[in-house]
């Protein structure tokens, strides 16, 4: 895909990189990425994906901007309070990079719309804030055969991984699914909500930026991806660690005897 003179100048720092270059920048321009949520994680991810020149960004969120969001959701501003987050995010991306097309979806992702929506994109970046949605997105990406970059944050910690459960590893074994990593969601009430426990705003910026970086690496194809690896961040001690995980033959989605054959409301 050809780049205009303005795009060549805008993305010059990418194009001079051996790992990206003109072909990589062209791949970014041609890519279609769906971002789940325009909140703490989705906000920085959208900004950096737009700045990087991802050609089409879809964003789904049914919420409106509130004053308490602005401590961390940097794509929105004070003037956007009470505005739909997808509209605010689309306007911010347009201001940042007019070469990027934004497709806002002012809706809540559910079993009734997930597959149709995800099928329209090449890759999904999940920045949702609850386990129910994370399992739904991961299962939908498996059925739709789409790669997934998924991140999560706690009060002082965060995680990031890439899921390609619809593909096999070099050794012929299936790649792990989200359910191989987290077989069951935590019991209700054991994970406090953001409004109850608080969250470090800059931490969502770190994880959202890393999510964008991983999406870019998946599109361009450089470096060692996070398939089968979970990046963990501890903001208290400023430690970054990575653990490996593998396909679980007993998992209910992609195991030897799968019991999940279609999307369902509960994890």
Q: Are residues 52 and 167 in the same domain?
A: yes
190 band by pLDDT with thresholds 50, 70 and 90 = low
pLDDT tens profile 61-112:
999 999 999 999 999 999 999 999 999 999 999 999 999 999 999 999 999 9
* H/E element, 10: helix 5-10
Instruction: Answer whether residue 84 is part of any domain.
Output: yes
149 within a domain of the structure (yes/no): yes
Judge whether 263 lies within some domain: no
**In a shared domain, residues 21 and 61:** no
Contact 139, 187 (CB under 8 A): no
- At residue 189 the predicted structure's pLDDT band, cuts being 50, 70 and 90, is low
Q: Are 161 and 218 in contact (CB under 8 A)?
A: no
User: Choosing from 3, 51, 194, 235, which is the catalytic residue?
Assistant: 194
The tens digit of pLDDT for each residue in 142-182 reads 999 999 999 999 999 999 999 999 999 989 999 999 999 99
Contacts 24+ apart (CB under 8 A), 6-12: 6/99, 7/53, 7/99, 10/53, 10/97, 10/99, 11/52, 11/53
- Residues 115 and 182 both lie in one domain: yes
Residue 189 belongs to a domain: yes
Check whether residue 189 and residue 233 sit in a common domain: yes
User: Are 9 and 113 part of one and the same domain?
Assistant: no
Residues 6+ apart with CB under 8 A from 250: 256, 257
| Cα(210)–Cα(48) distance, integer angstroms | 10
Is 180 known to be catalytic? no
Indicate the pTM of the whole model.
Answer: 0.95
Does 153 lie in the same domain as 50? Answer: yes
87 in the same domain as 134? yes
Q: What is the CATH number of the domain that holds 231?
A: 3.40.50.720
In a domain, 47, yes or no: yes
- The three-state secondary structure class of 258 is coil
CB atoms under 10 Å from CB of 239, counted, come to 10
Q: Which domain holds residue 78?
A: 31-244
Of the pLDDT bands very low, low, confident and very high (cuts 50, 70, 90), residue 118 is: very high
CB count in 10 Å sphere of residue 61: 25
Residues 242-256: what's their mean pLDDT? 96
**Average pLDDT for residues 22-44, to the nearest whole number?**
98
Same structural domain, 46 and 143? yes
Percent of the chain at pLDDT > 70 equals: 95
Asked if residue 260 belongs to a domain, the reply is: no
Within this chain, do residues 9 and 97 fall inside the same structural domain, yes or no?
Answer: no
CA distance 203 to 235: 7
- Same domain as 18, residue 74: no
Are 158 and 67 in contact by the 8 Å Cβ rule? The answer is no
pLDDT of 184: 85
Indicate whether 79 belongs to any domain. Answer: yes
194 has a pLDDT exceeding 70: no
Tell me, yes or no, whether 113 lies in a domain: yes
Q: Which positions ≥6 away from 182 have C-beta within 8 Å?
A: 131
Examine the domain organization and report whether 220 and 113 are in the same domain.
yes
Q: Are residues 118 and 5 in the same domain?
A: no
* Measured CA distances, 166 to 31, 151, 235, 253, 258 (Å): 19, 19, 33, 11, 14
Model confidence over 207-235: pLDDT tens digits?
A: 999 999 999 999 999 999 999 999 999 99
> Into how many domains does the chain fold?
2
Residue with tokens 């009470």: 82
């Amino acid at each position: 895909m050809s780049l205009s003179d303005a795009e060549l100048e805008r993305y010059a720092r990418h194009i001079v990189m051996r790992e990206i270059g003109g072909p990589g920048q062209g791949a970014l321009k041609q890519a279609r990425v769906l971002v789940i949520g325009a909140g703490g994680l989705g906000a920085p991810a959208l900004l950096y994906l737009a700045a990087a020149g991802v050609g089409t960004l879809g964003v789904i969120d049914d919420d409106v901007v509130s004053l308490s969001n602005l401590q961390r959701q940097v794509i929105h501003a004070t003037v956007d309070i009470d505005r739909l987050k997808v509209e605010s995010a689309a306007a911010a991306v347009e201001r940042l990079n007019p070469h990027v097309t934004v497709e806002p979806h002012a809706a809540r992702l559910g079993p009734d719309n997930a597959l149709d929506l995800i099928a329209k994109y090449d890759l999904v970046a999940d920045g949702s804030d609850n386990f129910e949605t994370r399992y739904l997105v991961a299962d939908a990406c498996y059925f739709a055969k789409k790669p997934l970059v998924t991140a999560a944050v706690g009060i002082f910690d965060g995680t990031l991984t890439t899921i390609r459960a619809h593909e096999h590893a070099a050794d012929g074994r299936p790649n792990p699914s989200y359910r191989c990593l987290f077989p069951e969601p935590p019991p209700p009430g054991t994970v406090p909500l953001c409004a109850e426990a608080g969250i470090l705003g800059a931490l969502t910026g770190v994880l959202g930026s890393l999510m964008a970086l991983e999406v870019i690496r998946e599109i361009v194809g450089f470096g060692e991806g996070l398939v089968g690896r979970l990046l963990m961040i501890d903001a208290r001690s400023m430690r970054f660690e990575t653990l490996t995980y593998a396909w679980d033959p007993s998992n209910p989605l992609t195991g030897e005897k799968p019991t999940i054959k279609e999307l369902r409301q509960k994890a």
